[in-house]
Structure 1
Amino acid sequence: MTQTAHLWLFFAMVFGIIVLPGLDMAFVMASSLMDGRRSGLSAVAGIVAGGAVHVTLGAIGIGVVLKLFPAAFNAMLMAGALYIAWIGLSLWRGASALGEVGETRSRSLPATFGRALLTCLLNPKAYVFMLAVFPQFLRPEYGPVWLQAVVLGLIIALTQAGVYGALALGAAGARDWLRGHPEGQVKAGQAVGAVLVLGALYTAWGGWRGF
């Protein structure tokens, strides 16, 4: 396989994983629906930054450490589940408050960025990818491994920005419509919050089985 075909295959795998509904996607959508386009794009930036951290950790072998010490990985899953559940419950309460008082105070963009970054860092799907897929695309015959990791990291970042950015803009457009339909906005916020809580429960179940 040529290096170009190799990179296209990696992109196809990354795209297929990113477009699957997950915690990162739900957080981006929730940020846009509840606080608008700028908040959604700030969440996208946080997710992309988290992806860069994942690539860095994968390149220096942290993934191998987690594989050798499953208890550490399972503990990370449980911590991530608790955090995501907290975000989901916060979204549910925020949506309910919106229905009661008509509006809620938007979070600052740095706060949204930070929460998105932490959401990405605690997302188990990213660690599974780094353990099972990423190392297979680092081939010595294609040049310095560090340079390959940078290129693969850029592919991940650009794909995340494209997919999640489009989602953020779409959700922000839906928010503009929902602002004229407060009941629909409340239901949308509660639905996204419920998705995050369910995702957290599934993650916690997987971590508990590993202990």
Structure 2
Amino acid sequence: MIPLHELLVFALASLIMVLSPGPNMIYLISRSLSQGKQAGIISLFGVICGFLFHILMVSFGLTAIFFAVPYAFIVVKFLGVGYLLYLAYNTVKSDGNKIFDTKNHNLKKDNPFKLFNIGFLTNILNPKMALFYLSFFPQFIKPEYGSILSQSFQLGIVQIIISFCINFLIVISAAKMASWFAKNPIWVRVQKWFMASVLSGLAVKIAFAKAK
């Protein structure tokens, strides 16, 4: 069992990570603003399942393969880069006048299954998460605390709870912002290009990330 004081330090690191802008946050905000709170929450569950994927990977030592075998890291990295650029393209291509009008019945809405899957893929294709788990987990896992696998799951549960709570608040707030943006159309165009710029910037940053 990991001591409480070390869990608190890990919780702080997890909080800082989830508050830093990244593909997960951007995806949840964009879905909540364009399709409403329910779509944002469904997308959030997809993101959370993506966290479970990363936790299983690091818990069984599979994440290390991405860094021990350079080609594996490169494949995952550029899948993430391509996906981010695809999201950036769709952001610019979308109808800026309608994206924040959640009551518009002519606005195409993705079904729950698709929302969940995109949230899941956005997370598992994000090398930032693999880097986080591989960098932080070994610092808090020690043989004297018991089973290595149990400690990994313990840290994973803490990280998931923090991420869910913060991202849930983001989804709720973003959905409420939709009506304000609908009344101020000039900000719709600003948001569209800002979102595309951030997504492209993240793609470039990930593309130049190196395995260690």
Q: Structure 1: which amino acid aligns with 2:21?
A: P
The answer to whether the 8 Å contact 1:92/1:190 transfers is yes
Paired with 1:30 and 1:43, the residues of 2 have a C-alpha distance of: 10
The answer to whether the 8 Å contact 1:66/1:72 transfers is yes
C-alpha deviation, 1:25, in angstroms: 0.9
Q: Structure 2: which amino acid aligns with 1:184?
A: W
Paired with 1:95 and 1:30, the residues of 2 have a C-alpha distance of: 13
**Alignment correspondent of 1:154:** 157
C-alpha deviation, 1:182, in angstroms: 3.5
- Tell whether 2:193 aligns with 1:190: yes
Count of matched residue positions in the alignment of Structure 1 and Structure 2: 206
Of residues 161, 169, 172, the one that matches 1:169 is: 172
1:1-12 paired onto structure 2 within 5 Å: 3-12=3-12
Paired with 2:182 and 2:116, the residues of 1 have a C-alpha distance of: 23
Q: Structure 2: which amino acid aligns with 1:155?
A: V
Question: If the length of structure 1 is used for normalisation, what is the TM-score?
Answer: 0.89
C-alpha deviation, 1:146, in angstroms: 2.0
Paired with 2:85 and 2:58, the residues of 1 have a C-alpha distance of: 26
Q: Deviations over 1:176-209 (max 9, x none)?
A: 22223334334323322331122112222336xx
**Alignment correspondent of 2:53:** 53
Q: Structure 1: which amino acid aligns with 2:144?
A: E
Tell me which moved more, 164-173 or 127-136. 127-136
1:110-189 paired onto structure 2 within 5 Å: 110-189=113-192
| Structure 1 segments (4+ residues) deviating >6 Å | none
Q: Structure 2: which amino acid aligns with 1:124?
A: P
1:70-149 paired onto structure 2 within 5 Å: 70-96=70-96, 98=98, 104-149=107-152
Q: Structure 1: which amino acid aligns with 2:12?
A: A
The answer to whether the 8 Å contact 2:41/2:168 transfers is yes
Paired with 1:35 and 1:199, the residues of 2 have a C-alpha distance of: 23
Question: If the length of structure 2 is used for normalisation, what is the TM-score?
Answer: 0.88
1:33 aligns to what SS in structure 2?
helix
Q: CA RMSD in A?
A: 2.1
**Alignment correspondent of 1:33:** 33
Paired with 1:90 and 1:194, the residues of 2 have a C-alpha distance of: 12
1:98 aligns to what SS in structure 2?
coil
C-alpha deviation, 1:7, in angstroms: 0.7
The answer to whether the 8 Å contact 1:77/1:204 transfers is yes
User: Percent identity of the aligned residues?
Assistant: 22
